Amino acid sequence: MSFTSPMPSQQFLWDVFQRVDKDRSGAISADELQQALSNGTWTPFNPETVRLMIGMFDKKQAGTVSFEEFGALWKYVTDWENCFRSFDRDNSGNIDREELKIALTNFGYRLSDQTINMLIRKYDRAGHGTIYFDDFIQCCIVLYTLTSAFRRLDTDMDGVITIHYEQFLGMVFNLKV
């Protein structure tokens, strides 16, 4: 199952970039990006998800995304949207517990029902037992980042690590999530 979309033309990206860059600063801030994104509900895009995405594509650490960085960000959001739609099997505009389990299993995670339930509780902002598009992105980014940090310490690949408290703190605080 492929979720990737083709990269649009530079002219298309420039037109979108100019519409999002409301203050004409030549860079897109988190506030501008949040206003431009839609999660398919009438609620604003999760600011934490926006911050994570800006951080992923902000190569100069300026807190904004330049036009040069924007194409990759646009493609990233579009690919996540395609992914989300493929797992939102009932076209409800959100991911329920079973759809999340299927998505994460497809991504290669083998998580217990207890962990899936915990993720639903953590990322369900509406309190309906479902996750919106923006929260789905955040959930997947955080899960990927935590898993990558764990795997760096799981040198024998047995799914178990032994670390001291300060190692744990260092691992968590050094993550970009």
Sign of the dihedral through C-alpha 47, 48, 51, 53? negative
Domain contains 74? yes
For 38-72, letters b (16+ CB in 10 Å) and e give ebeeeeebbeebbbbbbeebbeeeeebbbeebbbe
Owning domain of residue 49: 10-174
Tally DSSP H helices, then E strands, for the chain.
Answer: 8, 4
How is 2-34 classified by DSSP, letter by letter?
----PPPPHHHHHHHHHHH-TT-SSEEEHHHHH
Beta strand segments in 128-177, E: 130-132
What is residue 45's DSSP assignment?
Answer: P
CATH number where 22 lies: 1.10.238.10
Domain contains 41? yes
What pTM, to 2 d.p., does this model score? 0.81
Task: Pull the structure tokens for residue 29.
Answer: 């801030």
pLDDT in tens, 61-109: 888 999 989 988 988 888 888 899 999 999 888 999 999 999 999 999 9
Domain contains 48? yes
pLDDT in tens, 135-155: 999 999 889 889 988 998 999
> Pick from 134, 153, 151: which is nearest to 44 by CA?
134
pLDDT in tens, 28-53: 999 999 888 876 666 778 888 898 88
Beta strand segments in 67-137, E: 94-96, 130-132
Instruction: Please count the structural domains in the chain.
Output: 1
pLDDT band for position 4 (50/70/90)? confident
Confidence at residue 1, expressed as pLDDT on a 0 to 100 scale: 54
Confidence at residue 102, expressed as pLDDT on a 0 to 100 scale: 94
